[in-house]
């Protein structure tokens, strides 16, 4: 068994590898609490956060031509006021950081406590299977960076609860047209999950890789304020 020496001054204490990772986990939890406090503060200071959230959902459903019941799986930590949603990584009160299934093969058994799947189970988060009602669904993606650390979640969702068409939506930022960058990201994402399958899925009309979401936030917020004043 491996040991690490820790202590202050001349006093040292032997820490096993297992204990070492447990200490790191406690430090990680402190970071998560601080991150939670930061997010709550930012949202509280943004009075239009949930208004924009609702407008965005409405626009995404409109441009994808979806009039079916829907559920939201979010990789963020924020809540939705009126939607049926699932936070993959915990919520504002308890955000979860962790490593992915793809990294599990590369880590020592003691570090398994840092994996996202282990932390989801440990914290008794609702499983994706219990949340999603149907086994056959269209999937709409928006606002995700397609981080490889989340590939295990994406692949599970697509394989188990997809089957319909996939829509990949994007917005332009700071006056820059993000369409081409977005298309490249989607292609890399699909080919990363399913080797060289992007072209086949696109040609079979099983995915639309670049649907622009354009919202005049200032206009909508002004309309919202006027409506509230009239009420």
Token digits for 144? Answer: 């995700």
Nearest in space to 153 (alpha carbons), one of 199, 108, 201, 101: 101
DSSP 3-state assignment of 24?
Answer: helix
Rounded to two decimals, the pTM is 0.80
Q: What is the pLDDT of residue 79?
A: 84
Nearest in space to 145 (alpha carbons), one of 185, 191, 86, 196: 185
- Kindly give, in sequence order, each residue whose CB lies less than 8 Å from that of residue 189, ignoring residues fewer than 6 positions away: 146, 154
For the chain, 231 residues long, give each residue's pLDDT as a single digit of tens. Answer: 444 455 545 555 677 877 888 899 999 999 999 999 999 999 888 878 888 888 888 899 999 988 888 899 988 888 887 778 999 888 888 898 888 766 556 677 888 888 888 888 888 888 888 998 788 999 999 988 888 888 888 998 999 999 999 999 998 887 788 899 999 999 999 999 998 899 999 999 999 988 888 876 566 555 555 544 444
Alpha-carbon gap, residue 169 to 151, rounded angstroms: 18
Which secondary structure element, helix H or strand E, spans residue 107, and what is its range? none
Q: What is the pLDDT of residue 133?
A: 79
């Amino acid at each position: 068994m491996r040991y690490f020496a820790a202590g202050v001054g001349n006093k040292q204490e032997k820490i096993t590898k297992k204990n070492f990772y447990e200490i790191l986990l406690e430090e990680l939890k402190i970071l998560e609490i601080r991150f939670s406090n930061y997010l709550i503060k930012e949202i509280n200071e943004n009075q239009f956060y949930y208004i924009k959230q609702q407008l965005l959902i409405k626009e995404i459903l409109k441009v994808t031509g979806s009039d079916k019941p829907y559920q939201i799986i979010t990789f963020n930590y924020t809540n939705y006021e009126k939607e049926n949603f699932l936070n993959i990584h915990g919520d504002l009160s308890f955000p979860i950081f962790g490593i992915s299934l793809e990294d599990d093969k590369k880590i020592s058994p003691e570090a398994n406590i840092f994996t996202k799947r282990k932390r989801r189970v440990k914290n008794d988060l609702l499983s994706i299977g219990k949340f999603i009602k149907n086994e056959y669904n269209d999937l709409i993606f928006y606002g995700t960076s397609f981080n490889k650390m989340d590939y295990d979640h994406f692949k599970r969702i697509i394989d188990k609860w997809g089957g319909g068409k996939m829509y990949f939506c994007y917005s332009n930022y700071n006056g820059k047209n993000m369409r081409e960058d977005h298309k490249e990201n989607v292609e890399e994402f699909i080919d990363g999950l399913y080797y060289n399958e992007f072209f086949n899925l696109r040609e079979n009309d099983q995915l639309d890789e670049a649907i622009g979401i354009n919202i005049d936030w200032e206009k909508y917020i002004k309309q919202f304020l006027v409506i509230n004043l009239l009420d």
